[in-house]
Amino acid sequence: MTDQPLAGRSALITGASRGLGLEIARHFVRTGADVFLCARHADALEDARRTVAAEAPARRVLAAAGDVSDEADVRRITTAAVAAFPSLDVLVNNAGVYGPMGPIESTDVGAWRRAIDINLMGPMLMARALVPQFKRCQRGKIIQISGAGATKPLANLSAYAASKAAVVRLVETLAIELRPHAVDVNAVAPGALNTAMLDEVLAAGPDAVGREFYDRAVEQKADGGTPPARGAELCVFLASPASDGITGKLIAAVWDPWRTLVAHRAELDGTDIYTIRRILPEDRGTSFGPA
């Protein structure tokens, strides 16, 4: 890619006031995009907007506070973003929460629902609001930030794990629906990040999240975790024309050779590589007999 792979592009980024969302916004403006930022807390969002604007004074950086799980807020934010950027063609769904921590029988049902609302309903509402815009433009990129819960069970984090697995299947489904309109939809596993969500795990303690998960969090905090820039760089690639045609995939910023995926575009298309699928006995070299 060139040093300005997102030149001429504009993006709406949720959860952009801190952490990975803020890092994605900074990378986007540095590489040529105009951005519209969204987060729940107006003061923190305005601080982030100023930070991002300072990275690239030639780029337009706008913001609106709101809750991605609130349909009225989503409508207001997406309408403002399209009005500001009539050629808006990138959506980054980054907003997310861990939700309640602890065994399923002791978790608060309301908090469990709230996690699903933010982690699953939020991305669905944002995509639903912007798909007509992408169809009009006959191009678009939807980038969904995923997490460890998408690919393995996470004891004591049931709402997070369930919502992240569900949102990856939403990505795969939208990719099929939107392929005829040249809209690519992918999920990003950014790695183990030292963000405010990690601090929530540490504050909850081993009794809530389990000793093994807690000890990994302590170790991650000490060694610095994965730099957010790794995930942000992958998002730049997926938002750029260089990734056109790569769709319906869950790609790991740390473990997958995404910088060379363009060379494997035809091989990826129509396969279950980088997807979530059921594993059969035959896939593990055994057989349980006929049905």
Q: Please give the full DSSP string across the chain, using - where no structure is assigned.
A: --S-TTTT-EEEEESTTSHHHHHHHHHHHHTT-EEEEEES-HHHHHHHHHHHHHH-TTS-EEEEE--TT-HHHHHHHHHHHHHH-TT--EEEE--------S-GGGS-HHHHHHHHIIIIIHHHHHHHHHHHHHHHHT-EEEEEE--GGGTS--TT-HHHHHHHHHHHHHHHHHHHHHGGGTEEEEEEE--S--SHHHHHHHHH-HHHH-HHHHHHHHHHHHHT-S-HHHHHHHHHHHHSGGGTT--S-EEETTTS-GGGGGGGHHHHTTS-TTS--PPPGGGGT------
What is d(CA 44, CA 106) in angstroms, rounded to the nearest whole number? 32
> Does a structural domain hold residue 219?
no
State yes or no: pLDDT of 148 exceeds 80: no
Residue 130 located in a structural domain: yes
Q: Which domain holds residue 108?
A: 10-191+226-270
Q: Which residue has the higher pLDDT, 158 or 152?
A: 158
Q: At residue 206, does pLDDT exceed 90? A: no
For 14-57, how does the pLDDT look when each residue is reduced to its tens digit (9 = 90+)? 999 999 999 999 999 999 999 999 999 999 999 999 999 999 99
pLDDT above 70 covers a percentage of the chain that reads 99
pLDDT of residue 203: 83
In a domain, 203, yes or no: no
Q: Is the pLDDT of residue 1 over 70?
A: no
Residue 290 lies in a domain: no
Q: Which residues lie across from 202 on neighbouring strands?
A: none
Q: Stretch 149-165: mean pLDDT, rounded?
A: 91
Interval 116-141 mean pLDDT: 97
In a domain, 121, yes or no: yes
**55 found inside a domain:** yes
Total domains in the fold of the chain:
1
Asked if residue 125 belongs to a domain, the reply is: yes
Instruction: Look at residue 201 and tell me whether its pLDDT is greater than 80.
Output: no
Domain CATH code at residue 245: 3.40.50.720
Q: What is the mean pLDDT of the chain?
A: 93
Does the residue 286 lie in any domain? no
pLDDT for 215 beyond 90: no
Q: According to the model, what pLDDT value does residue 19 have?
A: 93
